Structures are given as C-alpha cells and as structure tokens.
Amino acid sequence: MQGVGPRIAPDPPKDDSIILTARDVTVRFGPVIALNGFTADIPRGVIGLLGPNGAGKSTFIKASLGLIPRDGGAISVGGLDPQTQSLRIRDDIGYMPEHDCLIPTVSAVELVSYLAQISGMGRRDAMQRSHEVLDFVGIGEERYRLVKSYSTGMKQKVKIAQAIVHDPALLFLDEPTSGMDPNGREEMLDLVRRIGATGKTIIVSSHILQEVERVCEHAIIISDGRLVRDGKMGALMAGEEGLFSITVRGDAKDLERFARAFGEACGLVSKTDEGSRQIVLSARGCGDGKRVFALAKEHGVQVRSYIPDKMSLEDVFLQAFQGGGSGGH
C-alpha cells in the first residue's frame, strides 16, 4: 500500500517458511513469570495460538510487537528484533488487542482514517482506505456513528479494520471472538479466513479449540508460559505417527485374540465393543494396512473398515496437558 518501512514479506509465499522465531523467551511481571522459556518457530499462514487463561498468549503477542520488554531470550520477526526495532516492525504488522482500544467519541470512519494517517498515509488516501477496510469487515452506514454506540461485535470489527488499514503482511489478533454471540463469532471467523486468503500471515489467539480447528492451518499450544505442542493442524490431529481406526467383526474369542495381536503389532490406543460381534480398535503406525488385513485373516475376523482416524484438537490439547507435550512441564 503506502510503502512505509520494510516489508516483512513483499509477496508472502504460502509455504512453511518461518516468519517469527522465539527462543527461550522469558517475561516477568514482578513475581509472575508470564513467559517461561518460550520457544517456537511460527510459519506463514493462519496460525492458532492456543492456551488457557493466563497461559501467556497476550504476553507473547505484546513481546513480539515490542510493546513489553523481555527479561531473557530472543524474538525475531522477519529478521528484526521487536525490542530494538519495534517501530520498523510495526509498520508491517497489524495488531488487534484483546481489550477495548477504540476512542469512543469519534466515528469508525474518523478513527480508522486517523490511524491510517498515523501510519503514514495522506489524508485523502487514509479516508479512502478507511472506507475500504470498513466495507471489508462489514460495517455499513453505522460507520458515521460514534464508536461508543456500537455493539461488542461492531467494535470487534472496527478493531480488525484498524489492524489491517495499513495493509500489513503479519497480523496479530488477540481473542477476536471474545464477547461475541454465535452469529458474531461466525462472521469474525469468516473474516479471519478471508484475510488469510489474501496471503497475510495471521496469528490468532484463542482458548476456543473448535474455532482454531476451523480456521487455522497450524497451531501453537502454550501453557504456563511454555510451548507444549505445535504443528500443522492435520499432523497435530492425526497424531505423530498417524492414528487409524479399524472396525472388525467375528466371534468373541476371535475378536479378543485379534485385538491382542493387533495391539502388539500396531500400538493399541483404544478399543470399543460395539456389540453384535463387532469391535472398533484405534491404533498408531499400522501403515498401509497390509499387516492388519493379514492379521485379520489369521484370526478369522472380518475387516469392515480401516480408515485414518482424526483426533479433535481437544484430544490433542488434553494429551498435551497429560504430559505428552513436546515442551513438557
């Protein structure tokens, strides 16, 4: 757009190249350790930053923007250090804070165009751009009313509009659906998807797993100021070696023997008895299934289905907190 500052990514490629790295980052607020050796490599795309209340999500975002100082470790955003190059970085970053950040006594169009001017645009361009982004987020004629008369949903949309007005390559959205009703949430998630589709990298924090599951390509799970797990959404939900579900039918004794052999061969995760001589087994690492079919034949049971099984992000989350996380604590 108006070409202020360096571009973090002139034409962001849709691949896994890393846009942000954090190494052993520590941030303290008095006795509270908000980030405690947080390490992550964040690729381009739509990235979910997940964690329970107080996990350190907002602190990580603010440290990445250079809004709060680090007590240790390093952060690089497109090769720049937010602590020492915060102004340069912010030229190409959009930020939607968690809490209310809008001036209540001006209209949305005035507010957004004012912020566009601060980012370096001329008055006329700023006004035009303000209308464009307010159109994009779905604020209609209400844009001429004072912000203080807006619903929470409208305020959230204006917060996104101000974050994208200078056409940044990287966007931090801190709990964008917070305080919204189900329809508002849908609209907001759709907005996140549409912005992501324009090639921008979006780091979106949330503690609502289903939301992240639906819009993000990659997730970072944080707890107690540490990374507990991260990866592509598909890989996270498939488990590291791939999870499979097999439904077999046969006599009870044969099923029992098969389940034991199958468990030994493939690493049984769960077994469900469906009655009517049928069980469903879930396992990791059984490859293309040749072995499974051979075992079934050997034990005289019939394979009804053999399909890759997906965990929900909730399963991943729970597993991470039961000590399965890569960060471990």
Ligand X SMILES: Nc1ncnc2c1ncn2[C@@H]1O[C@H](COP(=O)(O)OP(=O)(O)OP(=O)(O)O)[C@@H](O)[C@H]1O
What is the smallest separation between the CB atom of 47 and ligand X, expressed in angstroms?
A: 15
Token representation of residue 316 = 């991943």
34 binds ligand X (CB under 6 A): yes
Question: Could you give the string, one character per residue 44-73, with x where binding to Mg ion holds by CB under 5 A and - elsewhere?
Answer: -------------xx---------------
203 binds ligand X (CB under 6 A): no
Q: Of 200, 204, 133, whose CA–CA distance to 169 is shortest?
A: 200
82 binds ligand X (CB under 6 A): no
Residue 51's binding partner, choosing from Mg ion, ligand X, none, with beta-carbon cut-off 5 to 8 A by kind? ligand X
Q: SS3 of 81, please?
A: coil
Token representation of residue 198 = 């324009």
Q: Is 23 exposed, middle or buried (0-12, 13-18, 19+ CB in 10 A)?
A: middle
- Residues with Cβ within 8 Å of 177's Cβ and at least 6 positions away in sequence, in order, are 156, 184, 185, 188, 189, 206, 208, 211
Q: Is 41 exposed, middle or buried (0-12, 13-18, 19+ CB in 10 A)?
A: middle
The angle formed by the CA atoms of residues 117, 121 and 125, to the nearest 5 degrees, is 105
What is the smallest separation between the CB atom of 105 and ligand X, expressed in angstroms?
A: 26
207 binds ligand X (CB under 6 A): yes
**Interface segment toward ligand X; rule CB under 6 A; list 29-37, 116-124, 148-156, 228-236:** 29-37
Total of chain residues touching ligand X, rule CB under 6 A:
13
Amino acid, single-letter form, for residue 219: A
What is the smallest separation between the CB atom of 228 and Mg ion, expressed in angstroms?
A: 17
226 binds ligand X (CB under 6 A): no
Phi, psi of 265 (to 5 degrees): -75, -40
What is the smallest separation between the CB atom of 53 and ligand X, expressed in angstroms?
A: 4
Residue 56's binding partner, choosing from ligand X, Mg ion, none, with beta-carbon cut-off 5 to 8 A by kind? ligand X
**Interface segment toward ligand X; rule CB under 6 A; list 18-26, 56-64, 209-217, 293-301:** 56-64
Residue 157's binding partner, choosing from Mg ion, ligand X, none, with beta-carbon cut-off 5 to 8 A by kind? none
What is the smallest separation between the CB atom of 66 and ligand X, expressed in angstroms?
A: 15
Q: Of 300, 152, 309, 322, whose CA–CA distance to 242 is shortest?
A: 309
Distance in angstroms (rounded) separating the CA atoms of residues 40 and 51: 14
Distance in angstroms (rounded) separating the CA atoms of residues 174 and 279: 44
54 binds ligand X (CB under 6 A): yes
How many residues appear in the chain?
A: 329
What is the smallest separation between the CB atom of 311 and ligand X, expressed in angstroms?
A: 23
177 binds Mg ion (CB under 5 A): no
Question: Could you give the string, one character per residue 97-126, with x where binding to ligand X holds by CB under 6 A and - elsewhere?
Answer: -x----------------------------
Residues near Mg ion (CB under 5 A) are 57-58, 98
Residues near ligand X (CB under 6 A) are 29, 32, 34, 51, 53-59, 98, 207
